[in-house]
Amino acid sequence: MSWRSLSLCLAVASFLVAIYFGWALHRISGPVLHEEMRADNLKWPRKWPYPDEWLWQWEDQLAAENPPPPNSIPIHGELPRMEMKLRGWIVVSGLVGACLVLLGFRLVPYISFTVSTAEPLAKVVERLSAWINSRKQICPPDQVYFQGRVWDSGFKVTKLHMSPGNCPIVVRGRFKPSSDEGVVEIDVSARLFRPLSWFLFTWFGALAVAIACLIAMFESDKSGWFPTNGDLLDALYGLVGIALLSWVAIVAWFRFGGRKTLEEITQFLTPA
């Protein structure tokens, strides 16, 4: 089984878990309980695949772990706590599924492909060396706006003159002989510019730590500096949304903003 197939299978499993938690949340809602918990309903609680039995066992466990204060009656029992935890688990399961989908479809700021040229390798290296500026310049002339270096087995190049909307990417290439005589294959890969990659690593790392802290606070029933657990859950929703939207924006910027640079490099590698 390929990595893509495995990622997509795990993503489907994560979404199914989220759906089942959503069903469990529905089963402890007011209308359902009012309809199902009638005295003449002998089917209550319903058997598997309904989540009724483990929900009631879970409620008994929570009631034992969180006894009410003396001389008080828990009117709603543990249902509000169960609803909050189920919503949190739905968010976490959906987030895991979304991450696995991103990995399965390679929705990441990285791309690789192979091009072929009928030119001799020595001529390809010579042409690249004349085209790529090996010295760093603050404002290179318009006709030399790619900076990098070339060696006998490959090259590395970065576009210096950036127009609005262009994504800063680094393109690497590796030369390899083809089975066809006189043909050179070039494995090309592109990724984000390193300083931008480190910034994104810091950004998403901070979001991941914040989400993990909120989940830990939520599971320990400690709202911390949030007035209620509902506010804590809203903050968790917000951070998850920010993380997903940020990732989609970066991937879209890389795919569409870096397209012109990749087209220029591909055309230069395979001259007509």
Q: Which residues contact 22 (CB under 8 A, 6 or more apart)?
A: 86, 90
132 pLDDT more than 50 = yes
For the stretch 178-202, pLDDT in tens is 666 667 888 888 888 888 888 888 8
The torsion defined by the Cα of 106, 111, 112 and 115, in degrees rounded to 10, comes to 130
The larger pLDDT score, comparing residue 43 to residue 158, is at: 158
Mean per-residue pLDDT for 161-187? 76
**71-75, 138-142, 242-246, range with the lowest pLDDT:** 138-142
Which residue segment(s) compose the domain that 125 sits in? 110-196+261-269
Closest by CA to 171, choosing from 150, 185, 152, is 150
Question: Is 30 within a domain?
Answer: yes
**Rounded to an integer, what distance in angstroms lies between the CA atom of residue 227 and that of residue 71?**
25
Same domain, 190 and 79: no
110 pLDDT more than 60 = yes
Predicted confidence band of residue 144 (pLDDT cuts 50, 70, 90): very low
Same domain, 2 and 92: yes
Helices (H), the chain: 3-27, 30-36, 52-65, 79-104, 121-131, 194-219, 229-252, 259-269
**Rounded to an integer, what distance in angstroms lies between the CA atom of residue 83 and that of residue 95?**
18
The count of domains in the chain is: 2
What's the one-letter identity of residue 110? Y
